[in-house]
Amino acid sequence: MTARGPELFISDLHLSPHEPGTFRRFRDFLAGPARSAARLTLLGDLFDAWAGDDDLADPFNAAVVRELRALVAAGVPVDFVAGNRDFLVGADFAAASGASLLPDPCLREVAGIATLLTHGDTLCTDDADYQRFRAEVRSPAWRAEFLARPLAERKRLIEQLRQRSETEKQGKAMRLMDVNAHAVAALLREYAAASLIHGHTHRQARHAIDVAGRACVRWALGDWTGERGTALACTTEGCRFLA
Ligand code: MN
C-alpha cells in the first residue's frame, strides 16, 4: 500500500480556453502534488463557465475531464462542490471525470476536526442582489427550464451571465463580496463544526474566529487566476497553504 499524502483543497481555478497558463498549472498540479494526495476536493468554480453536461464534448472541457479522470484512475478520490460559475455541473460530468459531487455545505472530518466544506457564495449575505439571483438560478425549475434550451443558446446566456458577474464585481463594495461573519458563525453552530474551508472570495487566509466561546478556524482558499496555483493541504498534524 502506498503511503498517502495530505488531503488537498483547491477552488476558483476559473479554467477557460482563454487562459491556457491556468490549465497548464492545473495539469501540473494534478500530475504532481495531487498524485500522492489522500483526496482532492474541488470547492467550486473549477470552470469559469459551464453551460451543461452536454458540453463535455467541447475539446477544452474534455481535456479538463481527462486530467481529473487520470488522477482518479491513479487512486486519488476527487470530490466536487459546485461554484456559482459551474453550478450546472451534473451527473454526466461526474461519470466522465470520476469525481463525486458533494452537496454544499458538506460536513467532513479534516485533520481530526469537524469541518464544513462550501464554495462560500452563500456566506456573502451582505450582497442581497446576488443572493436573490442565486436562489433563482439554483431552483430546480430554473435549472430544468434552462437545460431544456439548445446548447448553443445556453452557452450564449452563460457567457452573458459571466460578463454580468464580472461587471457587477467592479462596481460592488469589497465588503459585499466577502463572507458575512454572522453567516459564518451561524453555519458553524448549525453543524457543530469547528472549521470551515471555502473558496469564492479569492482572499487566501486563515482566520481564527470565536463562535459562542469556541475557537474555530475559517480557511479561505486563493484563486488560480494570477500567475500561480494554490492549495490547502491537510494532514493529521493540521492544515497549511501550499503557496
Ligand atoms: Mn465563486
Helix axis angle, 59-73 to 20-31, nearest 10°: 10
Say how far residue 41 (Cα) sits from the centre of its chain. Answer: 8
How many A from CA of 121 to the centre of ligand 1? 6
Radius of gyration of the chain (CA): 17
How many A from CA of 66 to the centre of ligand 1? 23
Q: What is the pTM of this model?
A: 0.95
* Residue 132 CB-half CA count within 13 A: 3
How many A from CA of 46 to the centre of ligand 1? 9
58 has pLDDT over 50: yes
Distances (CA, A) of 86 to 32, 75, 93, 161, 231: 25, 25, 11, 12, 19
Instruction: Note the pLDDT tens digit of each residue in 94-151.
Output: 999 999 999 999 999 999 999 999 999 999 999 999 999 999 999 999 999 999 999 9
Question: Average pLDDT of 155-165?
Answer: 91
How many A from CA of 45 to the centre of ligand 1? 5
How many A from CA of 201 to the centre of ligand 1? 7
169 has pLDDT over 80: yes
The whole-number pLDDT of residue 3 equals: 56
How many A from CA of 213 to the centre of ligand 1? 30
41 has pLDDT over 90: yes
The whole-number pLDDT of residue 19 equals: 94
Which residues have a Cβ under 8 Å from the Cβ of 57 and sit 6 or more positions away?
none
The whole-number pLDDT of residue 206 equals: 98
How many A from CA of 18 to the centre of ligand 1? 18
Question: Average pLDDT of 161-180?
Answer: 86
- 128-142, 163-177, 194-208: segment of lowest average pLDDT: 163-177
Question: Average pLDDT of 5-21?
Answer: 96
Q: Residues 231, 9: contact at Cβ < 8 Å? A: yes
1 has pLDDT over 70: no
The whole-number pLDDT of residue 231 equals: 97
How many A from CA of 1 to the centre of ligand 1? 37
The DSSP H or E segment spanning 79 is: strand 78-80
